[in-house]
Structure 1
Amino acid sequence: MSVSDQHLIEAIRKGDKQSFEIVFKQYYRTLCEYAFTIVKDTDEARDIVQSMFLKIWERREDLIITLTLKAYLYRAVHNTCLNRIKHESIKTKYIRQSIGDGRLEVKQPEVFANETEKKVMKAIDDLPEQCRIIFKLSRFEEMSYADIAQKLNISVQTVANQVSKALKVLRTQLTDTD
């Protein structure tokens, strides 16, 4: 491992946001491209890379990297992609079994989709202003965290934190109302 990798890892472990942003900016795009080669979906690839970086930041104090930083990041993305594919496979298998057994009840699609969309949009509108703006830029305008940070003149980490916060709030609100 290079001296600069060791320095960056140690700085991230200590909570240095600038070091984290350096790593994020340096690897984000190529990691997204790599994830895309596995999952074959641009949005899914971005989500995987963003959630991997968020997980690294959240667990930074326990971060132990014995390989190069690049190798660690690529391995983390690779494993996350495989886990997502496995999860989707299990979900598809369950749905097929449920349909075959007649256990799966399906509401009228247009009514269900319309009600769900209204609930989601209401939950998004109820988010705090900055959180809502960042979430909409990320999900609806498909901007990267780095682009949002630059546009709003905030750090990439702030963007990641706000998107994570929005997702937690939305999950809570949408599961509590069902």
Structure 2
Amino acid sequence: MFEITQSNEKELLMQVAEGNEFAFRRLFAIYHQRLGMHIFRITQSTELAEEVVQDVFLKIWMSRETLSRVDNFKAYLFVISKNHALNCLRKVVKEQLLLKKLEASNMVPFKTDSQDADQYYNLIDEAIDHLPPQQQKVYLMSRHNRLKYHEIADQMELSRETVKKYLQIATTSIKDYVHEHMDAIALILGIIQFFCFF
């Protein structure tokens, strides 16, 4: 693990602020391992910790001009990474709750008939077909090919944030499409059943 004096660190930050990529790589080498351990203690996930570290250093590089005003980089780094990690955890919890709601709401059709299950999966396929090309590709690479954000980002030459956004939008669009059409199917089935009794 690399160590650095405060004066050397200040010089390094100035170099990064000026766009020196070698200085940025050195800064990353000095802090990424410690930061990863710090984030792992918060998230209890190696994958999420790696993602947070990469996201944080990407943000630092994107706003590198501001580094010249940072007095205590370690404190600055640990605060922004902690905030980002907590935001990621909140997002994971929201996604898990959404998934549970979807699973709960989608249990009803399967109890009645396997034909309903087929209708449900057909609706998902239709919903995917209705997605814009980029969102569709990201969704399929994530859900069907089981690729990670960074793998999709590399293959599609997109940023990880763009991949995340596309996946969120695609998931919401598919959910809305399926619910809208399942409601319509349920209504039609209800009308048919109603008239069958008379």
Q: What range is the shorter-chain TM-score in?
A: 0.5 to 0.7
Pairwise CA distance, 1:4: 2.3
The residue number in structure 2 matching 1:42 is 46
- Quick one: distance in 2 between partners of 1:164 and 1:65? 36
* From 72, 89, 93, the counterpart of 1:89: 93
Normalized against structure 1, the TM-score is what?
0.58
| Percent of matched pairs sharing the same residue | 21
1:78 matches 2:82? yes
Q: Offset at 1:23?
A: 0.9
* Corresponding residue for residue 51 of structure 1: 55
Matches within 5 A, 1:2-13: 2-13=6-17
Unaligned runs of 5+ in 2: 109-116, 126-139, 175-198
Q: Does 1:117 align with 2:145?
A: yes
Match of 2:25 among 21, 27, 36: 21
Code of the residue aligned with 2:89 in structure 1: it is I
Distance 1:17 1:66 in 2: 18
**Pairs aligned (count):** 134
Deviations 1:110-166 (A, max 9, x none): x989x8229x6xxxxxxxxxxxxxx7xxx6xxxxxxxxxxxxxxxxxxxxxx95974
After TM superposition, give the deviation of residue 65 of structure 1 in Å. 4.7
What CA distance in whole angstroms lies between the structure 2 residues aligned with 1:56 and 1:165?
23
Q: Report the TM-score when normalising by structure 2.
A: 0.53
Return closer, same or farther for 1:50/1:8 CA change in 2, 3 Å cut-off.
Answer: same
* Distance change in 2, residues 1:57/1:47 (3 Å): same
Mark the runs of 5 or more structure 1 residues left unpaired by the alignment.
Answer: 121-134, 140-161
Q: Using the alignment, how far apart are the partners of 1:70 and 1:164 within structure 2?
A: 33
